[in-house]
Amino acid sequence: MPNNLNVLDCADCPSLGDSIFCNLKKEVLKYISKSKDETLYKKGQIVFNEGVRPLGLHCVATGRVKVYKLGVDGKDQIVRVANSGDIIGYRSLLSNENYSSSAKALVETRTCFIPKSIFFELVENNNEFALNIMRIISKALRAAEFQSMNIAQTTVRQRLADTLLSKKDILEEKKGITVMSFTISRKDLSDLIGCAPETVIRMLSELKKEGVISLHQRKVEILNEAKLYKIAHRYS
């Protein structure tokens, strides 16, 4: 079971600068802090399930969450991966519908749950917050359109390269060189780009042989970002 945590003040959240709450006044952040709950999810635990009525908004404070739908073949179809500072479940909340997808923690993740009444109060009383919600929805629609077109018009190798570039969210210093890396299972990666896990494994091995990436179990390190970009954009 997920663990309830002592609530951290929103103003002290390490992900505040990356969230839609970053421009809210301190007194508003304090008000939200008094109304929210925090939960710690271990890797693999469910944040919410498809078909359930949303009671509020989830904000990822730390960690990473997979938002996915169960396909007709019984396999997960990843809608997106939410990182620290991202919100999830907002579209169903705004449309007053049941969740159209499920959410699961990819790593140990801490989320803040803001009740529905507080969320709509923010939307109604804060124009900038409402505008930020509209921007997020617009970006999500654009990403969905791009993903649909991308699957139809690009090769698996191109989609893999593009996905690897989009996930380079961790920077590490190794022997004086900045290395971009992230951790994801081969299955989740294959769900993201729309192919079989075996194909992803083969493509990753090819990129490793070419010196573009290195692999350490589930961890992927990008060694040659320029070449990966060329592959993604058909310049290779």
pLDDT digits (tens, 9 = 90+) for 67-96: 988 766 666 778 888 889 999 999 999 999
CATH 1.10.10.10 in the chain is located at 155-232
Q: What is the mean pLDDT of residues 207-213?
A: 91
What is 3-151's CATH topology?
Jelly Rolls (2.60.120)
pLDDT for residue 227 is more than 80: yes
- 155-232: which CATH number, 1.10.10.10, 1.10.340.30, 1.20.120.1770, 1.10.1280.10? 1.10.10.10
pLDDT for residue 109 is more than 90: yes
CATH 2.60.120.10 in the chain is located at 3-151
Count other Cβ atoms within 10 Å, centred on residue 175: 5
pTM of the entire predicted model: 0.68
- In this predicted structure, what is the pLDDT of residue 48? 96
Mean pLDDT, the chain, integer: 83
pLDDT for residue 194 is more than 80: no
Count other Cβ atoms within 10 Å, centred on residue 43: 12
Percentage of the residues of the chain whose pLDDT score is greater than 70:
83
pLDDT for residue 153 is more than 60: yes
Q: Which residues contact 151 (CB under 8 A, 6 or more apart)?
A: 159, 193, 194
More reliable by pLDDT, 15 or 102: 102
What is the C-alpha separation between 236 and 227, in angstroms, rounded?
A: 8
DSSP state of 8: P
Q: What is the mean pLDDT of residues 136-156?
A: 70
Q: What is the pLDDT of residues 50-73, one digit of tens each?
A: 999 999 999 999 998 999 887 666
Q: What is the mean pLDDT of residues 182-211?
A: 85
Helix ranges, 24-86 (H): 26-35
